[in-house]
Amino acid sequence: MKILLATAYDYPHLGGLSVHLTTLKAGLEARGHEVDIVSFTDVPKWKRDFIVRGPAFLKNKKEAGSGYVYSLEQRSKELKQIIQQKVQEKNYDIINAQDVYTTFAALPTGIPVASTVHGYLTFEGISKGTVPENSKAAETLTNAEREAYRATSEIITVDTRIKDYIQEMAGVEGTAIRNFIDVHAFKPKTEQREALRDQYKIAKDEFVFFVPRRLTKKNGVIYPILSLPAVLQEHPRTRVIFAGTGEMMDEMKAKAEELGIDKQVSIIGAVDHSEILNYYSLANAVIIPSIYSAGVEEATSISALEGMGSGVPVIASAVGGLKEIIEHGKDGLLVEEKSIDGLSDAMVQLIDDVEAGEALAQAARQKIVDHYSHLAAAASYEAIYEKAINK
């Protein structure tokens, strides 16, 4: 097949969507398909800045949320032109749109469209504070979701809760294909831990917890900081490393300083995905501390899958898709969301019993190989594409 993966967001970009596209492309190509990716980054920079981002900023100043809606609509218009050009250059069999407004951009081509739904457009806008609840902008986004889901040929969701959400709000049945990782890239390399500690100037005797999360409220990134003081009382040689950027960064730094633990907290900013494996390998454990926020909960976290695939034990909040991929006490540890004591207890548990943590990590790696391989996921996507084409 000739497949066009398309998104109204930036690509490549730090974050789960970009990783999803890269990994899906690799899996599909391994199965013999021809795959291209088109994104908002392909729009000329002057248009991105002066036609989309600039006016959106000004509109938001006048009416909260209106600029966000404007941005999505303009992204769709610009992407529509680029997709039309791509279609003229190559006879694609299927377009896999990665979001609501890309679905609108792809539908006019007449080529079958399969839409992958990674989250809840309206609720996530509210959760981020971009869109006020019960506003005109929120209503517009909800209507756009419903229209796109009903118009596309096939819907793929990254977990069963999103599938249920679409069924309830649009009356459309989707297919849940959980997120996945490149199992050849993300594999145990803990034998490199000491060398990597030297490379990144991290003490070899520290127990390192790695938090590969965008620094935003729904990711619960404040909780490892709030939980660390209790851990340090028992194990002073403990460090938490955060990789990511976001609006919570200043608050996190201030809280670490207030608690007197700033020397044991490293917030290193954005890390390129090609380098992130080094941090999984140098860490002793991974924390995915997601929380419920404005009705939004974690999908099948790619970061959790990468940690599980990389041979280190994972602690995660018992929310959303994290509950689907981790079996507590067998291949990871689940803690109650926002539970400072629960998270600190789990952290201490892994420090106190390294062998038990290694057993969790080994079981997790096997689960990833068996159920979350990008090659297996590509076969599932291929089946959905064929279904859309044959409609």
The confidence score (pLDDT) of residue 128 equals 81
Supply 276's token pair: 């992130």
Average pLDDT rounded to a whole number, residues 228-240: 98
**For residue 242, what are the β-bridge partners?**
211, 267
Structure tokens at 59: 């509109």
190-371 matches 2-180+373-389 in CATH topology: yes
CB 238 within 8 A of CB 228: yes
| pLDDT tens per residue across span 102-115 | 999 999 999 999 99
pLDDT one-digit tens code per residue, 151-190? 999 999 998 889 999 999 999 999 999 899 999 889 998 8
Dihedral sign computed on CA atoms, order 254, 260, 262, 264 = negative
> 7-16, 289-298, 329-338, 354-363: which has the minimum mean pLDDT?
289-298
CA neighbours within 13 Å on the CB side: how many for 209? Answer: 32
Enter the CATH code of domain 190-371: 3.40.50.2000
pLDDT tens for 248-266 read 999 999 999 999 999 999 9
> What is 2-180+373-389's CATH number, 2.40.37.10, 3.40.50.2000, 3.40.190.290, 2.40.50.100?
3.40.50.2000
Percent of the chain at pLDDT above 70?
Answer: 99
Cis peptide before 108 (omega within 30 of 0): no
pLDDT tier for residue 294 given thresholds of 50, 70 and 90: low
The pTM score is: 0.83
Q: Cα–Cα distance between 10 and 99 in angstroms, integer?
A: 12
Q: Domain spans of the chain?
A: 2-180+373-389, 190-371
pLDDT at 20 over 90: yes
Which pLDDT belongs to residue 295?
67
pLDDT digits (tens, 9 = 90+) for 65-77: 999 999 999 999 9
Q: Does position 350 have pLDDT exceeding 90, yes or no?
A: yes
- State the pLDDT at residue 324: 87
Using the predicted structure, report yes or no on whether residue 26 has a pLDDT greater than 70. Answer: yes
Angstrom distance (rounded) from CA 338 to CA 334: 12
Rounded mean pLDDT, 291-319: 88
